[in-house]
């Protein structure tokens, strides 16, 4: 029998004890750091992987233009889905700040979620590897995550202060320029008139001031009505720049909130006017007068906040139809044919409470008796009493 090489046996034994990891590169770049490139991050990690044969690169996940202060990022979510499907069991990033700048969330992933899922996590520049982590390194990682969170918070604060300073100087700070204007090529915070669009803006204001309806103007100019209404509403056309109308936290990714009108930054003559202040006011008053006449004679909606679609659950506001002298409910969300009139509800209420046919159904009366009203169709309406009973 031929003898086996002891040397080969040792080599095979040493080789088989190494695990080959199904590896992902994760890279991220926020909008505030566009001077860097996401490609550089990826190349650095690729070089690291290439020098170590235990990593097999399976995929690259790159979130470009996303903040590190939360984890609602499309590529990160795709990465987590692949981890759950056991396609990936190792993540390598250039440094911890590319992974996250939110302390609590980052700690949860590093100390709980990844270990539970059996995922190895490496941050090259921080010397972090959760497979070979010494006790003292837990403290250092936590400290670095806190530092990244503080940096993100400070960046958010400084960006907000810088924007507000520019706004108070009458400088334009925004991504979208109003119709009728364009950025000054010599100064990105300055607006100049776009003459092609300004012709349309002047025509809209003049025609509205002369008594034409926005619907007629939209049709003749082939412009969406919401766009025309926005042009008429904004003060910029008369040269007044209104900014700081909404606020949000770049750090916390909070939902955008409206700023009260008296706290907004309003600078007159900050941009060249397309129309005179007199014409702007005349058009504004004409729109307000038409709105007043439009709602003149419309009774209070007694069903407000009470009526819901039986199929999708949407709150049905109800619109008053003058030709019917009644409110009509139809679901615009699911477009499933849910339809009923106010009188259909009134008949059901009178029958249930055994009221005379001519009893007036008011909002206070309905709110006192019922919690909600569910409409499936005009023949199928369910009343929910305050006691939870269905009728």
Dump pLDDT digits (tens) for 3-22: 443 333 333 334 334 678 99
How many whole angstroms separate alpha carbon 216 and alpha carbon 222?
10
> What per-residue confidence (pLDDT) applies to 159?
62
Q: Which CATH architecture has domain 18-152?
A: 3-Layer(aba) Sandwich (3.40)
DSSP for 188-211?
Answer: EEEEEE-HHHHHHHHHHHHHHHTT
Q: How do the domains of the chain map onto residue ranges?
A: 18-152, 181-295, 307-385
DSSP for 12-68?
Answer: HHHHHTSPPEEEEEEEEE-GGGTTS-HHHHHHHHHHHHHT-TTEEEEEEEEEET--T
Cα distances (angstroms) measured from residue 267 to each of 235, 277, 304 = 10, 14, 39
How many whole angstroms separate alpha carbon 374 and alpha carbon 315?
9
pLDDT tens for 26-60 read 998 876 555 568 898 899 999 999 988 899 999 99
How many whole angstroms separate alpha carbon 271 and alpha carbon 248?
26
Pick from 209, 176, 182, 207: nearest CA to 194: 182
Our measurement of the distance from residue 305's CA atom to the centroid of its chain's CA atoms, rounded to an integer in Å, reads 25
**Residue 382: both structure tokens together:** 């369910």
Residue 339 phi, psi (nearest 5): -155, 140
Pick from 313, 324, 321, 327: nearest CA to 366: 327
H runs (alpha helix) in 169-260: 195-209, 214-221, 225-233
By three-state DSSP, how is residue 267 classified? strand
**In what helix (H) or strand (E) does residue 371 lie, and over which residues does it extend?**
strand 370-377
* Fold: same for 18-152 and 181-295: no
User: What residues in the chain have per-residue pLDDT under 50?
Assistant: 1-17, 135-139, 141, 143, 145-147, 150, 250-252
pLDDT tens for 160-196 read 667 778 878 888 888 789 999 999 999 988 899 999 9
> What per-residue confidence (pLDDT) applies to 5?
39
> What per-residue confidence (pLDDT) applies to 173?
86
The count of residues in the chain is 391
Burial group, residue 25, by CB count within 10 angstroms (0-12, 13-18, 19+): buried
> What per-residue confidence (pLDDT) applies to 295?
67
SS3 content of the chain, % helix, strand, coil (to 5): 45, 20, 35
Q: For residues 231 and 204, is the Cβ–Cβ distance under 8 A?
A: yes
Pick from 350, 390, 354: nearest CA to 370: 390
Fold of 181-295: Hect, E3 ligase catalytic domain fold (3.90.1750)
How many whole angstroms separate alpha carbon 344 and alpha carbon 113?
55
> What per-residue confidence (pLDDT) applies to 305?
80
Q: For residues 265 and 244, is the Cβ–Cβ distance under 8 A?
A: yes
> What per-residue confidence (pLDDT) applies to 385?
79
């Amino acid at each position: 029998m031929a003898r086996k090489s002891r040397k080969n046996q040792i080599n095979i034994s040493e080789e088989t004890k190494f695990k080959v990891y199904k590896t992902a590169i994760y890279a991220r770049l926020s909008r505030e750091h566009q001077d860097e490139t996401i490609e550089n991050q990826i190349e650095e990690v690729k070089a690291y992987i290439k020098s170590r044969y235990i990593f097999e690169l399976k995929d690259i996940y790159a979130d470009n233009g996303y903040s590190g202060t939360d984890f609602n990022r499309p590529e990160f979510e795709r990465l987590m889905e692949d981890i759950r499907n056991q396609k990936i069991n190792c993540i390598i990033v250039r440094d911890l700040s590319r992974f996250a700048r939110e302390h609590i969330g980052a700690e949860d992933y590093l100390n709980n979620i990844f270990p539970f899922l059996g995922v190895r996590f490496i941050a090259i520049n921080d010397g972090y590897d959760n497979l070979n982590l010494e006790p003292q390194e837990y403290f250092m990682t936590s400290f670095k995550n806190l530092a990244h969170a503080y940096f993100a918070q400070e960046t958010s604060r400084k960006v907000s202060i810088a924007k507000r300073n520019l706004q108070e100087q009458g400088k334009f700070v925004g991504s979208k320029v109003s119709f009728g204007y364009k950025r000054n090529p010599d100064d990105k915070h300055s607006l100049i008139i776009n003459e092609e669009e300004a012709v349309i803006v002047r025509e809209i204001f003049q025609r509205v001031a002369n008594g034409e309806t926005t619907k007629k103007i939209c049709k003749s100019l082939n412009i969406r009505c919401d766009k025309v209404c926005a042009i008429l509403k904004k003060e910029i056309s008369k040269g007044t720049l209104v900014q700081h109308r909404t606020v949000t936290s770049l750090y916390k990714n909070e939902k955008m909130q409206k700023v009260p009108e008296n706290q907004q930054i309003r600078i007159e003559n900050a941009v060249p006017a397309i129309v005179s202040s007199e014409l702007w006011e005349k058009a504004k008053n004409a729109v307000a007068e038409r709105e007043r006449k439009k709602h003149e004679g419309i009774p209070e909606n007694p069903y407000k906040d009470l009526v819901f679609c039986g199929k999708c659950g949407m709150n049905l506001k109800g619109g008053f139809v003058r030709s019917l002298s009644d409110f009509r409910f139809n679901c615009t969300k699911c477009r499933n044919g849910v339809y009923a009139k106010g009188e259909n509800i009134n008949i059901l209420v009178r029958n249930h409470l055994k009221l005379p046919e001519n009893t007036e159904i008011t909002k206070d009366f309905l709110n006192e008796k019922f919690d909600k009203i569910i409409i499936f169709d005009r023949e199928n309406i369910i009343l929910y009493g305050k006691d939870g009973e269905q009728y």
